[in-house]
Every structure is written in C-alpha cells, then in structure tokens.
Amino acid sequence: AIEKAKSYKEKIRTALEMAQKITKEDVEICRRIGGHGLKLIEEIAKKKQGKPVHILTHCNAGWLACVEWGTATSSIYQAFDQRIQLHVWVDETRPRSQGASLTAWEMAERKIPHTVITDGTSGHLMQRSLVDIVIVGTDRTTRSGDVANKIGTYMVALAAKENKVPFYAAVPSSSIDWEIEDGIHQIPIEERNSDEVAYVQGLADGEIKRVRVIPKESKAANYAFDVTPRHLITGLITERGISLASPEGLLQLFPEKRASQ
C-alpha cells in the first residue's frame, strides 16, 4: 500500500493507518490471551479459597513490550481487575534486569502485590509451594511448541517440571514460526555485549551509575535467549485459546496451517 502511494503525504497517511490498524490488533490479541489465561488463575483461586494466587513471571512481557495488556501479564491484570487475590514473583532477569526495572514498575503502577527475586530463586520458592503457576512470554515459538524466550526461562521451566508447577507461555500467533520445528537447533541465539554482564547499572544519589562487578581478568558470556522444549511446557496461551505444546495442539487452534505442514 505504501509503495503505491504517489506523494510523501499519502505515504505518511498510509503508514499511519497501517500502524493504527496493527496497534488495535495487538491490543485485542493481548486482551484475548489474557482472557484465556484468566481462566487458569480463576481455577487456582477457587482451590485456594481466598488465599493469594502466587504467579511467577520472567523478563518483561507486559504492556511496555506491547501496546496494552501485554502477553504474559494480561491474565494477571484481568485477574486483578476481577478482585482475585494475587501476588507476583518477578524474576529480575539479568543482565538487563527487565523484570526488576520494567515488570516490577508495571506491577507497582497497578498496585499489584509483587516481589522482585534473583533469577536463581524460583526453584527454591517452588520447593516450598510458594508458586502456583508460571506464565512467561515468548519471542519465537516453533510449530512443535518449543518456546524461545529471555535467557533463564529454560531454568525456570526445569524447576517447574520438577516441582509439578504448571508452566505456561503466552503466545500471540504472530510469534509462531510455522517453518521450523526444532527450537534448540533451528533458532539462532543472540550473544550480546559481555559488558552487560561485567557491569551493573542503576540509580544512585539521583544519578545513573555503572559499576564493574567482575575482575578485569575475567571474561563474561552474555546469551540473550534460551529455548524451552515443549515437554516442559504445560500449555500455550494464544488469542484463540490454550493448546498443548505440540504440533497437533497448535494445529487444532490454527487449522488453516495444516495445508502448509
């Protein structure tokens, strides 16, 4: 459509219309994902009879990462709006600390009870039955149900499986790659600047300061994402409903993709 525009003004108008359309679609997709995830939280809340539902999330898959609602946080917001008692465990998500800085900020803005934890804490909490459900986002999902998400997600999934805690990924259909099946071997993992690991950055005395936390002689590795294989995932929460993390599970929700598989 933009290519067919004859003038710059027409190109700008067309681009704006497309952006507005995508924005509306994104909001609706996130709202629907949250509605399906809300049912999971409601089921847990009934069993807990008024006690808080403890939800653990990793990185930021909130409205700061989308337009409104977010993906992993959408069901949290909708449950909170329904006056379900909640508490959210927020993984700090080193090295960029998207959980500590972004997700925690979102929770604080909505006045949702939450606690920021180090990335290695989730397993300890699960061993003590302090996590009822894990909901994370996804950057890329394979047609078989493998999920690529922020580094550390896989470790959370392992702990959840070991402790029988349901582990769900919030998956907008736009993140499903129907061309690949094996996430571990087919999804390239970005390695970022090692300084993100070697240094920490934060607010001190009203200023943003940067401090080195490892010896100058030490090297640092900074893998940005990891892949959680489908057998560790309880289900995928999409805008069309919740599916098993499997090829058939996804195809049941997206039957129009069968012809291409």
User: Where in the sequence numbering do the catalytic residues fall?
Assistant: 139
Amino acid at 12: I
In which element (H, E) is residue 45 found? helix 8-48
Catalogue the E-assigned strands of 83-198: 86-91, 114-117, 133-136, 140-142, 147-150, 167-170, 176-177
Both structure tokens of 22: 């995508």
DSSP state of 52: P
Among candidates 62, 64, 70, which has minimal Cα distance to 29?
Answer: 70
The partner residues of 150 in beta bridges, in order of sequence, read 225
Token digits of residue 33: 């994902």
